[in-house]
């Protein structure tokens, strides 16, 4: 059965199905975490609570999760742009987005890292004194497409603000190109914002900050994170309603997501966003 994390109840139902336990037992497990780690404690150590739930899942889970939901929010120029492209493929290979940027003299090549060209001239992006500039980091190390495991509070996630006007790197172009406002404004006018749901083989992703997990441990992890989700719904709802601790997933080996994994897609127009 496919995991469902679109609401509190669907998360609870998924845990019941995967662990073969009834609702009350699951809720009692959630409460036990409160009594052990928060009641009469000044500080909740979330890592300890997570480890407790992880071990409970490991003892009780007898099934197998081969695919996980992968939620992503982004703008697309064409309704048929349903692949989830890595930054490397998005910029250096031919597609509607790279073709759009070419109209403004912005092109990219790959030679050990992504290189940016403006009207044919290579742009030098030097390292910062204390840290790498955003584009230098993305073009050198971070090409992966990322998404979230849960959809119950995704519309409250800060990622929406970061991508609703276009890819995040748009906000860093002003240092290197003169027509960045034109690029961004026209892209906003010509594109639509969507929420995508893919169903991805678990071996094709890893969880950020939990890169060491085996495929078996990834299954325990996502169920333990579901327990944490229910915990915060009960004991700190403000925390969960800002979509904190929504597991961030990364497509491994800088690969893109084929549209064959797409199971749902919704346009996020102004009415949907409440504007």
Over residues 11-60, the pLDDT tens digits come to 999 999 999 999 999 999 999 999 999 998 889 999 999 999 999 999 99
Answer whether 133's CB lies under 8 Å from 125's CB: yes
Is residue 130 over pLDDT 90? no
Can you say how many angstroms the Cα of residue 184 is from the centroid of all Cα atoms in its chain?
Answer: 23
What is the pLDDT of the chain when averaged over all its residues?
95
Q: What number of CA atoms fall less than 13 Å from residue 118's CA on the CB side?
A: 12
Using alpha carbons, select from 105, 68, 77 the residue that is nearest to residue 247.
Answer: 68
What pLDDT is attached to residue 131? Answer: 62
Is residue 74 over pLDDT 60? yes
* pLDDT tens digits for range 216-233: 999 999 999 999 999 999
* pLDDT tens digits for range 167-219: 998 988 988 899 999 999 999 999 999 999 999 999 999 999 999 999 999 99
Distance in angstroms (rounded) separating the CA atoms of residues 180 and 125: 16
Answer whether 246's CB lies under 8 Å from 148's CB: yes
3-state DSSP of the chain: CCCCCCCHHHHHHHHHHHHCCCHHHHHHHHHHHHHHHCCCCCCCCHHHHHHHHHHHHHHHCCCCCCEEEEEEEEEECCCCCCCECCHHHHHHCCCHHHHHHHCCCEEEEECCCEEEEECCEECCCCCCCCCCCHHHHHHHCCCCCEEECCCCCHHHCCHHHHHCCCCHHHHHHHHCCCCHHHHHHHHHHHCEEEEEEEEEEHHHEEECCCCCCCHHHHHHHHHHHHHHHHHHHHHCHHHHCCCCCCCEEEEHHHCCECHHHEEEEEECCHHHHCC
What pLDDT is attached to residue 41? Answer: 87
Average pLDDT estimate for 105-128:
93
Is residue 132 over pLDDT 80? no
What pLDDT is attached to residue 175? Answer: 84
Instruction: Compute the C-alpha angle 81/147/272, nearest 5°.
Output: 65
Using alpha carbons, select from 37, 20, 54, 82 the residue that is nearest to residue 207.
Answer: 54
pTM here is: 0.94
Percent of the chain predicted with pLDDT > 90: 88
At residue 127 the predicted structure's pLDDT band, cuts being 50, 70 and 90, is: confident
Is residue 253 over pLDDT 90? yes
* pLDDT tens digits for range 256-275: 999 999 999 999 998 888 87
Answer whether 197's CB lies under 8 Å from 262's CB: yes
């Amino acid at each position: 059965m496919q995991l469902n994390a679109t609401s509190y109840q669907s998360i609870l139902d998924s845990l019941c199905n995967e662990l073969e336990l009834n609702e009350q037992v699951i809720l009692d497990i959630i409460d036990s975490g409160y009594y052990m780690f928060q009641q009469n404690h000044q500080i909740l150590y979330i890592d300890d609570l997570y480890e407790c739930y992880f071990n409970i899942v490991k003892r009780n889970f007898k099934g197998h999760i081969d695919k996980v939901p992968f939620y992503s929010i982004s703008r697309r120029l064409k309704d048929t742009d349903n692949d989830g492209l890595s930054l490397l493929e998005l910029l250096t290979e031919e597609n509607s987005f790279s073709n759009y940027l070419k109209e403004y003299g912005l092109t990219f090549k790959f030679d050990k890292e992504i290189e940016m060209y403006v009207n044919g001239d290579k742009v030098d992006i030097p390292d910062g004194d204390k840290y790498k500039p955003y584009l230098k980091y993305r073009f050198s190390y971070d090409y992966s497409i990322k998404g979230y495991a849960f959809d119950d509070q995704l519309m409250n996630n800060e990622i929406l603000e970061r991508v609703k006007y276009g890819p995040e790197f748009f906000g860093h172009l002003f240092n290197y190109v003169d027509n960045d406002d034109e690029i961004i404004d026209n892209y906003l006018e010509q594109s639509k914002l969507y929420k995508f749901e893919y169903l991805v083989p678990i071996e094709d992703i890893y969880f950020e900050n939990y890169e060491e997990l085996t495929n078996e441990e990834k299954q325990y992890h996502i169920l333990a994170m579901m327990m944490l989700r229910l915990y915060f719904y009960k004991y700190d709802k403000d925390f969960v309603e800002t979509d904190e601790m929504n597991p961030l997933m990364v497509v491994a080996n800088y690969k893109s997501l084929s549209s064959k994994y797409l199971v749902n897609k919704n346009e996020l127009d102004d009415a949907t966003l409440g504007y």
